[in-house]
Amino acid sequence: MYKEFFGLKELPFSIAPDPRYLYMSGQHQEALAHLVYGINSDGGFVLLTGEVGTGKTTVCRCLLEQVPENTDIAFILNPKVTVEELLATVCDELGIKYPGGTISNKVFIDYINAYLLDAFARGRKTVLIIEEAQNLGADVLEQVRLLTNLETNQRKLLQIIMLGQPELRDMLLRPELRQLAQRVTARYHLGTLPGEEISSYITHRLAIAGTRTKLFPDSTTDKLFKLSGGVPRLINVLCDRALLGAYVNGQERVDKKVLTKAAEEVLGKKPGLKFPSGNILKWALAGLIIVCLFILTVFYAKYRPVAGLEKSIKDGTAQSRIPPDYKGAILPGHRGKIVEWLDNRMSLIKGVPVPSDPSGIYNDNLVNDVKKFQSAKGLVPDGIVGFRTMIYLVAEDGKGAADMQAGGKK
């Protein structure tokens, strides 16, 4: 391998969760502080979430090196289990002996409770850590919550730390899990590394591995951030492959060419698309034009204005009776999601904040905004959002907001 070539004592970019290699960014420091708090608190849940590869497990391994001597840890790595399997695993992790063939939840809980009471009497704390907790079923999560009911008059007997992907946060928003969510005493979401910390991250890992030589010039770190999105695991994989590529080429440092090649090998390379030429291109463009014309014709036929519509709006009948030829248009007085979309769209075009709680009613204020917009675009300012008005609304990027608000034309 490349260790000797670069003067390294060990591989610096292994994806194993080695606590020695944990780069303590501001986020990782806060994440570790939350877990330490969880270890030292008197019960409840601590929640650590983050995208795949952001360092949750590594932070947890770092925590295990700092736990007090009077702490017993039960570590569950594979949470795709039934309630009975979960309880049996907790017993196995803590060394609790139970009768063979036990399938009763009550028997498991009685044994766990007896163990926890004995540990409390001996001045010991018990912590349950669950990895990949987003894979737990709702019934298993409920049982995990019930485990925190094991308590004395002074404090809870079991502290639980759950690590998981962002889906875990969404799970805890479910109504049936609200009791569990209410028992979370600390939570932290671990994000990706910012671009300005990539160089420090690489330098840190290289130093732990035995070299302070700048093997990745600054010109490569920006590209590395774009390729990895700041995900530490992807950074490790790309850097490892890039060092191997530099070694094969006899280069003392990684350059952009080597890094690009490494990314193609690790992430996969999409085949280049060949642009059609000659008669094939002509026929393709002709077909596209025909399809577009057909769609425009159908939409225009569906949304074309009809005689008497203005009168139906003025006398109020448009709110309850829409002429058949005008179905799909947005008329004053309409309600629903399409009006919420229109309200949001007009806010963006005007350059004002999108309403946080749109009424969903095509009211007078919104009608006036639409009329100004139609006037600015040279359309009939009737406040009716038909086919042509809809086309302009979708295409508008907000640059004409000033003209619209002034009520003038471009």
**Sequential DSSP letters for 102-120:** ---HHHHHHHHHHHHHHHH
Residue 98 and residue 89: Cα distance in Å, rounded?
11
Kindly report, residue by residue over 176-231, the tens digit of the pLDDT. 888 888 888 888 899 889 989 999 999 999 999 999 999 999 889 999 999 999 99
Please state whether 407 falls in left (phi above 0), alpha (psi between -120 and 50) or beta: left
pLDDT at 387: 63
Give the DSSP H/E element, type plus range, for residue 4: helix 3-6
**Higher pLDDT pick, 93 / 149:** 93
| Least confident among 44-53, 292-301, 372-381 | 292-301
Beta bridge partners of 335: 361
Reported confidence tier of residue 269, pLDDT bands at 50, 70, 90: low
pLDDT at 391: 67
| 281: Cα separation from own chain's centroid | 40
Q: Per-residue DSSP letters for 330-393?
A: B-TT-BSHHHHHHHHHHHHHHTSPPPSS---B--HHHHHHHHHHHHHTTS--SS-B-HHHHHHH
pLDDT score of 388 more than 90: no
% of residues, the chain, pLDDT over 70: 80
Q: Per-residue DSSP letters for 176-188?
A: GGHHHHHTEEEEE
CB 229 within 8 A of CB 192: yes
pLDDT score of 246 more than 70: yes
User: Which residues, other chains included, contact 359 with Cβ-Cβ below 8 Å and sequence gap of 6+?
Assistant: 343
CB 216 within 8 A of CB 235: no
User: Which residues, other chains included, contact 92 with Cβ-Cβ below 8 Å and sequence gap of 6+?
Assistant: none
% of residues, the chain, pLDDT over 90: 30
- Cβ-based neighbour number of residue 216 at 10 Å: 23
CATH architecture under which domain 195-267 falls: Orthogonal Bundle (1.10)
User: Which residues, other chains included, contact 152 with Cβ-Cβ below 8 Å and sequence gap of 6+?
Assistant: 117, 120
Instruction: Assign domain 306-406 one CATH number from 1.10.101.10, 3.40.120.10, 3.40.50.1980, 3.40.50.300.
Output: 1.10.101.10
- For the domain bounded by 24-190, which CATH number is listed? 3.40.50.300
Section 278-304 average pLDDT: 54
Residue 121 and residue 70: Cα distance in Å, rounded?
12
Kindly report, residue by residue over 11-62, the tens digit of the pLDDT. 999 988 888 898 888 888 888 888 888 777 776 788 999 988 888 988 888 8
pLDDT at 286: 61
Kindly report, residue by residue over 114-124, the tens digit of the pLDDT. 999 999 999 99
pLDDT score of 404 more than 50: no
Instruction: Give the residue among 232, 180, 199, 162 at the shortest CA–CA distance from 15.
Output: 232
Dihedral pair phi/psi, residue 407, rounded to 5°: 80, 10
pLDDT at 301: 45
